[in-house]
Amino acid sequence: MEIIYGHIGNGVIFTSVDGVVISPGALIGKGTEIHAATEIRGDSVIGENCVLGPSSVISNSKIGDCAKVISSHVYDSSVESGVSVGPFAHVKVGSNLSRGVRVGAFVEVKNSNIGEDTSALHLTYIGDSDVGKKVNFGCGTVTCNYDGKNKYRTTVGDNVFIGCNTNLVAPVTLGDGSFTAAGSTIVEDLPKGSFGIARSKQTTKPGWADKKRAEGKLK
């Protein structure tokens, strides 16, 4: 409690101290709000006016001013000012999230550099990647970085739109302003401003469901 009281004296706000653990080597800026069950480990540096928790873990990482880490884990990484992480996100070893990045629910970032104002808000894995500014990762995007033996990097330019359920099979590069169709598996580089679609063609069979219901084979 002595460590916590010391931070309170420096202007840090604790909405609850239940389950809160702060390393003696951690630095926390004035006005930062810490919620229950949050752990700040190692030599982490937290900026001013941040929101951490509840149930967040920050380990040996730097968090910029006005950032939010909500019910998420950040390990050995850098989160710049105004970034939002969580809930239920993981930012893992060697990652850098630039200003204004948003990493949402059930998103994992590992060993990756993410440019300013890029968003990955739902169910996405970004591993071993270099991502530009103002990129949109659609729900379910996966960087396929491992072939069973080696890991490879994915490069995404600025202003790229990645459709939902896109697989990016590394090594691969998406040029500035390019676009991928939902459900695509991208295995070749996309030039600047191009559109990549890599999925099976839909086949529609009129009346099939009605026929099967009439035969008692469907509810």
Task: Count CB-CB contacts under 10 A for residue 134.
Answer: 15
Domains of the chain: 1-71 (2.160.10.10), 78-219 (2.160.10.10)
| 122 part of the active site | yes
> CA–CA separation, 129 vs 187, rounded Å?
15
User: What are phi and psi for residue 7, nearest 5 degrees?
Assistant: -70, -35
What's the pLDDT at 78? 99
Tokens 């730097």: give the residue. 62
Strand partners, 74: 58, 91
pLDDT block averages, 10 residues each, the chain of length 219 = 96 98 98 99 99 99 99 99 99 99 99 99 99 99 97 99 99 99 98 97 96 95
Element (H, E) at 149: none
* Start-to-end C-alpha separation, the chain: 62
Q: What is the pLDDT of residue 117?
A: 99
pLDDT at 146: 97
pLDDT at 1: 87
